[in-house]
Structure 1
Amino acid sequence: MIPQEIIRRKRDGDELAAADIQSFIAALAAGQLSEGQIGAFAMAVWFKGMSRTETVALTLAMADSGDRLQWADIDRPIADKHSTGGVGDNVSLMLAPIAAACGLAVPMISGRGLGHTGGTLDKLESIPGYMITPDADLFHKVVKETGCAIIGQTGTLAPADGRLYAVRDVTATVDSIPLITASILSKKLAAGLETLVLDVKVGNGAFMADRGQAEILAQSLVEVANGAGVKTSALITDMNQPLADSAGNAVEMRNCLDFLAGRKRDTRLDSVVFAFAAEMLVKSGIAASPDEAEGMARQALSSGKAAEVFARMVSMLGGPADLIENPDRYLARAPVEKPVPAARSGWLSACDARGVGVSVIDLGGGRRHPADRIDHRVGFSELLPLGTRVNAGEPIALVHAADEAAAERAAAALALHYRITEDRPGLTPVIAGLI
């Protein structure tokens, strides 16, 4: 294999053979390619694209660059869900235990926050003692005994993706549909999944702000995953406002615990959680129809079974056994909590969801640099949904901050992220489509 010949052929728009892609990725994983060669390959793909056949080959090669998890001793369908990232999106935290309570095995490999979007791992790290990178034996044991485990990617799963992504990040080649597709799916294939449901976000708080681009990405992910042997579908969901009424780490974890315990419901979040649970159960053959599947999922929640699954998962991964019953004992609170008053009377009609995510970072709840430490306490809670009527001075959210000055800045910024109008707005459905 001569790397520069593969790069040249892709640069010239040729379709690469699967064997050439496999050889290139094997060399990348083995450290035999320079960063210049990796960057040149990524740029060639960015400009010339890849066919579905090429993208499947790239995805499989990256998945095969490290370990593949095996679940032969687990007598449950192996399923997972992945989100392209949003604000106030803590769906995975509730969905995994609900799906497990209905009979699925969910080995969920999650990530940290990226840009303005929150990360599931960052939220889980607000739980004292929770191990986000257990060894393979413990990960397998937790999935087998509880039905689910939510952890981070280890260095042995799709390591080629890690090196390729690091180069893409500094060569302006992140936003390539084939490269995004292979990056997401290689880790899912390495996790040994049988079925996968994807949450492709669209809106001002998503990486794909345009509906057409979101559909292109969703179509690519679905076709490539199915082509690689994993039964896959995608829901396109709205991200023009925070999904939950909280945005941050500990505040979103508290939202999750209250949801599982039946202490609260959030209409938009509720809709998305049960839509994905239904899709996972039907795709895996547990339920015959979406209505039957949603009924099973709601029963798993209302009966307390999903909460029990989550509690066992947390306990087995080093967290407190009574977290759901006593969240305030374990989840740290920010020293300053300050309401955000509505600037005028009227209807909450629009939101800059990306701005809300950036404001969480400004509070210290996200990273500006990879090495930054997160303040898990900070963020926003009690965010009112669009379509709510408010009076001037009434709170539209609650800021959680490390000090008064930060709280003042965040409250002023958040108020600017919402538009209040005299007319009641038309609202976008949270589930925008299925592919």
Structure 2
Amino acid sequence: MTALVKQCNNLKRAAEVLGTANTKSKNEALKEVAESLQQYTDYILEENAKDIENAERNNMKESLIDRLRLTKDRIEAMVDSIYTIVDLKDPVWKSNDVWTLENGLTISKMTVPIGVIGIIYESRPNVTVDAFALTLKSGNAVLLRGSSTSLHSNRALVYAIREGLKNSSIPEDVIGFIDDADRSVVKEMLTLNKYIDLIIPRGGKELIDFVVKNATVPTIETGVGNCHIFVDESADLERAVDIVENAKVQRPGVCNACETLLVHKSIAKELLPKIHERIGKKVELRGCKDVQSFIEVKTALEEDWAEEYLDYVLAVKLVEDVDAAITHINRYGTKHSEAILTESFTNSNKFLRQVDAATVYVNSSTRFTDGGEFGFGGEMGISTQKIHARGPMGLNELVTVKYTVVGTGQIRK
């Protein structure tokens, strides 16, 4: 039995205990963990500093270092998210669907935990806390495998979590952590169907493709975000500039940042210089030939339309109308988050109905696609597929169903 199998066996046993734990016990455990994170803040920051130092030494780009960096405020935000999850309704053993057949059998469709959930993720240490808190409240054990770039940070966070659990009735083994950067361990994890019920990859395209290709355990794809904003001819241009700036600049290294700006050709002369003036010094703009006739930018190549930059780069293209914008997005988008800025009800409704994405916005930044912003307390990731869960995955996406059938001696004829 390998070390990983042994850990997964412990997780499976812990999941059986957790799956029937009451809401009070789970909430008390979460509160203990929140207090532990506060208690160990200095230690967590010391360990995070080691990861930051290594990242800078390896010339990691600024936007990705920002994803990696922890501060007292960011740790406090993790704590706040735990308390938000505490206040949310327990998703386990609920039913809105009960019926009685003519033969007297009463059938209930009940929500139950999935079991053991494995999550493989990159850089962002806050995922460690989000994943733990959401899985515990939904009655699932969790196996964490972060990236080597955040190893010190994740190790410290898991230590603080387990210390908090020691003061609760929930077993420490509901959380597992792969403290090994060897990719062969990940391959082993992806095939442990006997112990793991679901794998969630959270990161870039390379990671997600690797997991989907190698996993025998069921997976939910998340994360890759080639997100667009389309500025329609009727848009409020001043507001549009503010929204584009926020969607691109606030945190460019995250999956809900805008990567491509589509502009209705009739407003290009007025809007493009405003965009260039506002963000052009910080963001490298890459435009089609039509864009270059209005502002001086680098030439956008075909591959730019499909790129998730995660950096201070924005592709810009002029389009004929809302239909052309929808066609472009459905061709190059990753089904994550897409936005239209418009004062036209007809165009906004068409965009909402026809764009194929997990989250579609009207007159808003794409940066709101986030479990915390949606009121979920956190997220396991943002699902871009169409089976079971789509969009930010919170508590209600981490349960499955069980049919209970109660009879009085019925037999089938």
TM-score in terms of structure 1 length: 0.24
Q: Provide TM-score, normalisation by structure 2.
A: 0.25
